């Protein structure tokens, strides 16, 4: 039984078709990542899943009683609105102090409870958003470029936190990310989106798909390829060759690569 399934979903903004004929579903416990260039409809896809976007065609079917924890791309809190972290966690449903404390600790944001939301750093803010999303004990955690504005160690720690949360809560995770190397390491399934679903499947499968390489292969100058390369085998010599144009990256993951 899938938590959410999208059936032939199309979304139009004004005269533009943002998404056309998108179908996919997400089941309990899996981490699905949506990748795609800017303007490819990633956020629109997530907003359709939470019900904030009315589809022009097709439908979104949510499991009855589905609890969604949503971490938006960014959240602007008007400076006229006073809001402590603790108060924010109790929106929309009141939570006990113990729950709030646990969720903050789980999201790596302990000690922040009495701070004003407007005074938090980017990383702290994202962690508080994550803590709030965890409080409803979600079946499905949705993250829209949640690590935007974090530095590399920060975002690595954030994704590590998400993996930990997934293991402890057993929730499914649906996320959008630009950080391809993290995506490929952390996801069970990758959806490559560009107005429609170009390809989807396990990270290894997607990474080798021609549609994916057409979108990212040349654009990232092989940065992703470099990553796959490193993780498919270990180098015991200093790298003398150019990873960016290395061809072994498209090989299936288990294939042995002989260092040149």
Partner 1 sequence: MISLFDGFLLRAAFAGIGVAIAAAPLGCFVIWRRMAYFGDATAHASILGVALALGFQTPIFAGVLIISLLMATAVSNLSDRGFAMDTLLGVLAHSSLAFGLVAVSFLQGVRIDLMAYLFGDILAVSRGDLAVIWGGAALVLVLLWSRWSALLTATLSPDLAYAAGLNPKREQLILTIALALVVAVAIKVVGVLLISAMLLIPAAAARPFATTPERMAVTAASIGTFSALAGLQASFVLDTPTGPTIVCFAAVVFALASLGDQLRQVKHSKPN
Binding site for partner 1 (CB under 8 A): 47, 50-52, 68-70, 72, 75, 77-78, 80-84, 87-88, 90-94, 116, 136, 142
DSSP 163: H
Give me the least distance between CB of 101 and partner 1, in Å please. Answer: 18
246 vs 216: CA distance, rounded Å: 15
Give me the least distance between CB of 137 and partner 1, in Å please. Answer: 13
Which residues lie across from 114 on neighbouring strands? none
Of 89 and 109, CB closest to partner 1: 89
Helix locations, 32-121, DSSP H: 42-50, 85-89, 97-106
Give me the least distance between CB of 152 and partner 1, in Å please. Answer: 27
137 vs 124: CA distance, rounded Å: 21
Of 89 and 207, CB closest to partner 1: 89
CB-based contacts of 251: which residues, under 8 Å, 6+ apart? 208, 232, 257
Give me the least distance between CB of 228 and partner 1, in Å please. Answer: 33
Of 49 and 184, CB closest to partner 1: 49
Tell me if 188 sits within 8 A of 26, measured CB to CB: no
Helix locations, 187-222, DSSP H: 203-208, 210-212
Of 54 and 167, CB closest to partner 1: 54
Of 14 and 252, CB closest to partner 1: 14
**Distance from CA of residue 8 to its chain's centroid?**
22
Give me the least distance between CB of 125 and partner 1, in Å please. Answer: 13
Q: Helices 97-106 and 122-135, interaxial angle, to 10°?
A: 130
Give me the least distance between CB of 132 and partner 1, in Å please. Answer: 8
Which residues lie across from 22 on neighbouring strands? 9
| Tokens standing for residue 173 | 């995770």
Of 70 and 227, CB closest to partner 1: 70
């Amino acid at each position: 039984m899938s938590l959410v399934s999208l059936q032939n979903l199309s979304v139009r903004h004004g005269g533009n078709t943002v998404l056309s004929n998108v179908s996919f579903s997400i089941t309990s416990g899996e981490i699905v990542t949506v990748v795609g260039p800017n303007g490819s409809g990633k956020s629109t896809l997530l907003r359709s899943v939470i019900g904030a976007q009315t589809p022009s065609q097709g439908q979104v079917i949510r499991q009855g009683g589905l609890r969604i924890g949503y971490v938006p791309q960014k959240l602007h809190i008007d400076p006229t609105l006073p809001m402590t972290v603790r108060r924010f966690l109790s929106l929309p449903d009141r939570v006990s102090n113990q729950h709030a404390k646990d969720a903050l600790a789980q999201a790596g944001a302990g000690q922040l409870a009495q701070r004003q939301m407007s005074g938090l750093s980017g990383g702290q803010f994202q962690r508080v958003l994550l803590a709030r999303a965890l409080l409803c004990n979600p079946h499905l955690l949705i993250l829209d470029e949640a690590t935007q504005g974090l530095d590399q160690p920060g975002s690595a720690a954030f994704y590590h936190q998400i993996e930990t949360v997934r293991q402890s809560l057993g929730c499914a995770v649906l996320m959008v990310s630009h950080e391809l190397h993290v995506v490929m390491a952390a996801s069970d399934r990758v959806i490559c989106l560009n107005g429609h679903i170009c390809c989807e499947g396990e990270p290894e499968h997607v990474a080798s798909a021609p549609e994916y390489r057409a979108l990212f292969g040349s654009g990232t100058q092989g940065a992703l390829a470099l990553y796959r390369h490193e993780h498919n085998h270990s180098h015991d010599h200093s790298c003398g060759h150019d990873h960016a144009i290395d061809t072994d990256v498209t090989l299936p993951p288990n294939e042995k690569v002989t260092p040149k």
